[in-house]
């Protein structure tokens, strides 16, 4: 019996060996005769190692070869900071910082000689969006909020964890252009409904804005955001590969299952600033909710035309908020030509927007939301110094959910279950655990932003100004932000439409 088993084992082993050798011979011949890859044609079999190591290199570099401050889009030090905040481990380090204070563009806050004592602290006040201009203004409590990530681009468990975490932390979640899903509402948090160029979730059977659907959504959304463009791909509509368009996502968006979801480059019913303001005013009147705009910034033209149009037509036509997305943004799929080279980074775009609003006398009317790699308290505090009212982040919350920067967001193979609809991979994202990390990230961000403000001599974060931060220009040389971007003078004082009508008739 033992001998028989030995013979069978020997025969099976021999058969496996022949199969392996045969497969190698076939691969060798295939490599030698194929005409597409030069390396494989010249070095059969061995050439395959090059492609294997090239593919795996992007995953191993961050662990074995990159320094803490070397990697892009987010280095290990930044990710570790976010992870600690999300785990409520605090932002404390030992033996000094690895941050190079001489690096051009570095942010250095101006510490006050007599910082604010604990008993002198004042809670950072909430701000009301749309006050006096809509029937149901939105009282926003948190400085840090969840930027637009569509259900489809991210998974159902990810949206559910974000929604529940946002409710616990008191921040809002932006739906992204994919529309409002039941998962956004599950946690009971404040929601901003984004209207993308395809109008997913708010359109009729012809792809046009549906007034009935808009009124229905107003019962759930605290505000509406008209997206002109985003930092990842300015001038290009959203893209969701067909492999990620499930039955539920197709139903929410109003598109076929499994078909690529490609949004137009712009809204078909908005071709200029006047049409944009028409749409803002129409939506505000239709829903009773605040209505804002989201866009990446390429220059001054949009801001000047917007200011001129509001002055001509009245404050009633102004957007209630303006979301500035830096060119370095991008949690979703995007063409590399646009992701790498289109639109201003937030460091240049945000001061331009704030200054243009100050010059036009619109700064008090229009709230400003800053977005673009603002994942740490220091970057968020810088945005407040420039003049932002709120900060949006998408990838910061992805890290809070467990993102390891595998760079597979567009492939439906995300190993952490955040950007995939593969049920096996989604299993790793436990909603009950991750919602705590989302809430802790928001709380940690707001707490450390306040800590920076207190060290600068401010009672709370909304007192931060440009004179509280310096920007490194070259090693050993920095300049105050209010010198680099001086506060402009207000040149115009806009009137309400009613006041303009009275002037014209007298």
Same domain, 150 and 51: no
Position 31 pLDDT exceeds 80? no
Same domain, 38 and 155: no
Using DSSP bridges, classify how beta strands 390-393 and 367-371 pair: parallel, antiparallel or unpaired: parallel
Same domain, 335 and 465: yes
Q: Is 113 helix (H, G, I), strand (E, B) or coil?
A: coil
pLDDT the model gives residue 445: 96
- Tell me the pLDDT tens digit for each residue of 87-105: 998 777 777 777 778 888 8
pLDDT the model gives residue 240: 78
pLDDT level of residue 498 (50, 70, 90 thresholds): low
Of residues 90 and 149, the one with the higher pLDDT is 149
pLDDT the model gives residue 504: 44
Position 506 pLDDT exceeds 90? no
Q: What is the mean pLDDT of residues 144-160?
A: 94
Same domain, 318 and 223: yes
Q: What is the mean pLDDT of residues 397-419?
A: 87
Q: What is the mean pLDDT of residues 256-279?
A: 91
| Inside any domain, residue 250 | yes
pLDDT the model gives residue 62: 61
| Inside any domain, residue 75 | no
- Tell me the pLDDT tens digit for each residue of 281-309: 999 999 999 999 999 998 888 999 999 99
Using left for φ > 0, alpha for ψ between -120 and 50, and beta otherwise, residue 479 falls in beta
Instruction: Give CA–CA dist 339/325, Å, rounded.
Output: 12
Position 200 pLDDT exceeds 90? yes
Lowest mean pLDDT among 68-82, 83-97, 199-213, 397-411: 68-82
| Inside any domain, residue 93 | no
Structural domain that includes position 61: 2-65
| Inside any domain, residue 109 | no
Same domain, 210 and 312: yes
The rounded mean pLDDT for the chain is 87
pLDDT level of residue 66 (50, 70, 90 thresholds): low
Query: CB neighbours (10 Å) of residue 178?
Result: 28
Position 385 pLDDT exceeds 70? yes
Q: What is the pTM of this model?
A: 0.86
Same domain, 58 and 161: no
Q: What is the mean pLDDT of residues 129-157?
A: 95
Token digits for 53? Answer: 């190591």
Of residues 52 and 219, the one with the higher pLDDT is 219
Same domain, 52 and 185: no
């Amino acid at each position: 019996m033992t001998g028989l088993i030995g013979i069978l084992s020997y025969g099976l082993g021999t058969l496996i060996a022949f199969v392996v050798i045969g497969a190698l011979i076939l691969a060798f011949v295939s490599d030698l005769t194929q005409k597409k890859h030069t390396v494989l044609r010249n070095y059969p079999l061995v050439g395959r190692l090059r492609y294997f190591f090239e593919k795996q290199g992007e995953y191993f570099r961050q662990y074995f070869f990159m320094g803490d401050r070397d990697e892009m889009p987010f280095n290990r030090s930044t990710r570790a900071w976010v992870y600690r905040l999300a785990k409520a481990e605090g932002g404390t380090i030992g033996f000094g910082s690895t941050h190079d204070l001489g690096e051009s563009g570095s942010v250095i806050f101006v510490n006050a000689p007599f910082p604010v004592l604990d008993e002198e602290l004042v809670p950072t006040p909430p701000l009301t969006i749309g006050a006096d201009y809509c029937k149901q203004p939105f009282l926003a409590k948190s400085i840090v909020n969840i930027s637009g990530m569509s259900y489809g681009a991210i998974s159902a468990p990810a949206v559910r964890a974000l929604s529940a975490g946002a409710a616990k932390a008191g921040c809002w979640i932006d739906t992204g252009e994919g529309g409002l899903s039941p998962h956004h509402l599950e946690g009971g948090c404040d929601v901003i409904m984004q209207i993308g160029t395809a109008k997913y979730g708010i359109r009729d059977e012809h792809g046009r804005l549906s007034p009935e659907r808009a009124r229905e959504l107003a019962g759930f959304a605290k505000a509406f955001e008209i997206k002109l463009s985003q930092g990842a791909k300015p001038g290009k509509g959203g893209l969701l590969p067909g492999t990620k368009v499930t039955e539920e996502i197709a139903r929410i968006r109003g598109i076929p299952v499994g078909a690529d979801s490609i949004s137009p480059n712009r809204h078909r019913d908005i071709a200029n600033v006047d049409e944009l303001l028409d749409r803002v005013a129409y939506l505000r009147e239709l829903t009773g909710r605040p209505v804002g705009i989201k866009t990446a910034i390429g220059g001054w033209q949009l801001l000047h035309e917007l200011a001129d149009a509001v002055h001509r037509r009245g404050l009633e036509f102004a957007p209630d908020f303006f979301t500035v997305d830096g060119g370095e943004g991008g949690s979703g799929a995007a063409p590399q030509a646009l992701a790498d080279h289109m639109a201003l980074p937030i460091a240049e775009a945000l001061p331009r927007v704030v200054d243009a609003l100050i010059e036009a006398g619109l700064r008090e009317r229009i709230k400003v939301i800053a977005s673009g790699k603002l994942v740490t308290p220091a970057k968020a505090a810088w945005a407040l110094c420039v003049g932002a009212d709120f900060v949006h982040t998408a990838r910061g919350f992805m890290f809070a959910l467990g993102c390891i920067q595998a760079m597979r967001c567009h492939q439906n193979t995300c190993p952490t279950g955040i950007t995939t609809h593969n049920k096996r991979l989604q299993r790793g994202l436990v909603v009950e655990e991750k919602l705590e990390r989302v809430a802790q990230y928001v709380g940690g961000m707001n707490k450390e932003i306040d800590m920076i403000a207190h060290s600068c001599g401010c009672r709370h974060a909304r007192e931060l100004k440009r004179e509280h931060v310096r920007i490194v220009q070259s090693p050993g040389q920095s300049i105050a932000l209010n010198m680099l971007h001086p506060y402009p003078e207000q040149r115009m004082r806009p009137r309400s439409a009613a006041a303009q009508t009275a002037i014209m008739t007298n």
